[in-house]
A = this chain, B = another copy of it.
Amino acid sequence: MEAAAVVLKEHISKTASLTEEELSYLASHFKPLSFKKGQVVIREGDKVEHEYFVLSGCLKAFYINDEVKMHILQFAMPTWWTSDYNALYTQTKATINVDCITDATLLSLSNADREKLCREIHQVEHFFRWRTNRGYVAAQKRLLSLMNNDARTRYEELLQLYPELYSLVPKHLIAAYLGVSRETLSRLYHTR
């Protein structure tokens, strides 16, 4: 618990300057949760009230097309944030799912508390602005990559960016992130 708060505080202090007091106040709004491998954090159709800061483990945020094809929007590793941000920001039902690829521990923050903290502490608003800025830029890069590059190039890019995924995440999930079929991904690295 204490360790959890420390990780969170360090993470936030990298982009915002908060006093120790403010950091503790901020941290007091987060609720620790643990999940087992395979457990669902957000289910399509749910009301979405929280976002999650990952302390340990690995999650995926994904969309299921006609009950069959899964596409992964984002993996979430330690110190990453995840949720269905569309649903969270617009107060609508979840259209994506979030679940745990491995056992995981998270800190949850409610939408209402985030907004409250942003109002109360200017530097907290600053932090969340920068966090989203980074996410936005990453999403734009991925869009370009999806349009410009073929599956093999995308695969190599991904491994270069997040080598840890290679061993951590089953290949069919990596395929679902890259936007190719399991079979194609398998061929990509067996037939060079």
Which A residues are closer than 8 A to B by beta carbons? 63, 65, 69, 71, 73, 85-86, 89-90, 118, 122, 125-126, 128-129, 132-137, 139-144, 146-148, 179
Residues of B close to A147: CB separation below 8 A: 71, 146, 179
Q: How far is the CB of A61 from chain B (nearest CB, A)?
A: 9
Asked whether B139 lies within 8 Å of A143 as measured between CB atoms, the reply is: yes
Residues of B close to A71: CB separation below 8 A: 144, 147-148
> Helix, strand, loop or mixed for chain A's interface?
helix
The docked-state distance in angstroms from the alpha carbon of A133 to that of B126 is 13
The docked-state distance in angstroms from the alpha carbon of A85 to that of B134 is 9
Closest B-chain residue to A137, C-beta based? B86
Residues of B close to A125: CB separation below 8 A: 122, 125-126, 129
Residues of B close to A135: CB separation below 8 A: 136
Q: How far is the CB of A2 from chain B (nearest CB, A)?
A: 29
The docked-state distance in angstroms from the alpha carbon of A89 to that of B90 is 26
Q: When A129-B132, A132-B132, A147-B179 are in contact, do A140 and B65 touch as well, CB less than 8 Å?
A: no
24 A/B residue pairs, CB under 8 Å, sorted by A = A63-B144, A73-B140, A86-B140, A86-B141, A89-B133, A89-B134, A90-B137, A118-B129, A122-B122, A122-B125, A125-B126, A125-B129, A128-B129, A129-B129, A132-B136, A135-B136, A136-B136, A139-B139, A139-B140, A139-B143, A143-B143, A143-B146, A146-B147, A147-B179
